[in-house]
Amino acid sequence: METTLRGVGVSHGVAIGEVRHMGTAVLEPPAKQITADEAEREQGRARKAVEAVSADLIARGQLAGGEAQHVLEAQAMIATDPELMADVDRRIAVGSTAERGVYDAFASYRDLLAGAGEYMAGRVADLDDVRNRIVARLLGVPMPGVPDSDEPYVLIARDLAPADTALLDPALVLGFVTEEGGPTSHSAILARALGVPAIVALPGAGEIAEGTVIAVDGSSGDLFVEPTAEKRAELEAAAAERKASLAASSGPGATSDGHKVPLLANVGGPADVPAAVEAGAEGVGLFRTEFLFLDDSKKAPSEEKQIESYRKVLEAFPEGRVVVRVLDAGADKPLDFLTPADEPNPALGVRGLRSLLDHPDVLRTQLTALAKAAEGLPVHLEVMAPMVADRIDAKAFAAACREAGLQAKFGAMVEIPSAALRARSILQEVEFLSLGTNDLAQYTFAADRQVGAVSRLQDPWQPALLDLIAMSADAAKAEGKSCGVCGEAASDPLLACVLTGLGVTSLSMGAASIPYVRATLAKYTLAQCERAAAAARAADSAEEARVAAQAVLSGE
């Protein structure tokens, strides 16, 4: 009998197939005691296991490339964290085995992260995965992972670690469903990059029996258990129509009546550029630079290294627009040379622009490197600051850009509600706004974007979030300036129409989403998008907003 479950759709497409479950790790080692003369040997075993896991994560990243490589390299840094390893050594010195020392040290650090604010709590899943890999290696047991199967299947898991998601084979894994996670979790981001239909935050999915046929709609978030022949035909027809629409869509982003909406790509470095170019991106709306800094948490990369990385991205978009976000450190991206180690709540502390203003030499070097990287290129470079709270922040950033001799537009990210509320004031100092909807939702609703239990409040369709977006767009229009969206909200084709109707002037997303958004925008006029936006804002919940917008665009 067909039943329907609802989670959060995070990657477009339809997948129909039999369920296979991800192996669950039960890797708590026994609390066995060792003698003092065994401690040095056990410490050596622990170090070798850590080094092997770190190397494996880096190798997986190099195989996967793109966004996945950045995520896995950041995860490898967790494995070799000096403070964690010092704690492991201390525990072994007082009698723990290598595996028990690792397990307990990571458990202690896990508790700290879980209680250290929204952003840091979001790294718990990554930490657990690293711990399990190290302990499995020490115990000599295989790390539970993606099941072996000769036939294509739909994968169900409690959660998926980046190391597993990055190397999924789309030829075998038709789609996946997780009980935990959120729309901006690493698994969701990597699913979109792979083009695999996916649903997250669906409690109870793990209870679906192995071998059961299910249908996953990664756009709506609907999961159909034992779908009827009629339902399967309906989903397959919709998927075929969507595929045909994508094939017929090309060129710049625009509504059916010719209102231009540039479609840009979110990239983390040069490795992400080929996919963006292939998808027809009209430029880069968010160039995340922090992964360059995460290569060494002890010191900032040299000006020469930064110039080399930036120039590769700028050269890929001649005459195009490339928007670079300066280093967004702190919270889930702590750097030893930049961020305080003892903040009680890093997500609400010294992060983003606040860190850079406290370390002007780091900001100056980055801005100088950007200026030199753009020399002689026809690219339209724009540089923006993360976590701008008010006009004072915006003024300080603009002054730093001028002092560095940067010949580019200066902008501010709207990620804090105060920036949306006072957007017109901020625009007296900068030339454009870019809405980071992931963080803006997190701070608006006090809901960690990595925690599935509060995914309802992370839904970018929330009317309160749409109000803040509209407020920012209205302010930019009044000042004759631009206001784009670079958060994951832009990757939802239906929501992209609503954002356009709210007055947003450009949309930036993962490369895989660009064709979907382009094709959907081309179906509707600007007036239809504006009516859909008004209907969504008049709703009282995210689900009502989505239904209302869909009804307007469907002509119901």
Q: Give CA–CA dist 462/466, Å, rounded.
A: 6
Tokens 């957007």 -> residue: 423
Residue 147 DSSP one-character state: P
CA distances from 109 to 180, 293, 452, 490 (A): 21, 23, 21, 35
The structure tokens listed for 335 are 């750097």
**Nearest-angstrom CA–CA distance, 172 and 152:** 4
Q: State residue 28 phi and psi, 5-degree precision.
A: -85, 115
| CA–CA dist 491, 67 (Å, integer) | 16
Do residues 507 and 487 touch, judged by C-beta distance below 8 A?
Answer: no
Contacts of 13 (CB under 8 A, 6+ apart): 175, 195, 196, 197, 218, 219, 239, 242
Catalytic residues: 186, 486
Q: Which residue has the tokens 């850590």?
A: 50
Residue 374 is encoded by which pair of tokens? 């753009």
User: Are 384 and 400 spatial neighbours (Cβ–Cβ below 8 Å)?
Assistant: no
Work out whether the CA dihedral 524, 528, 530, 536 comes out positive or negative. negative
Tokens of 348: 């609400």
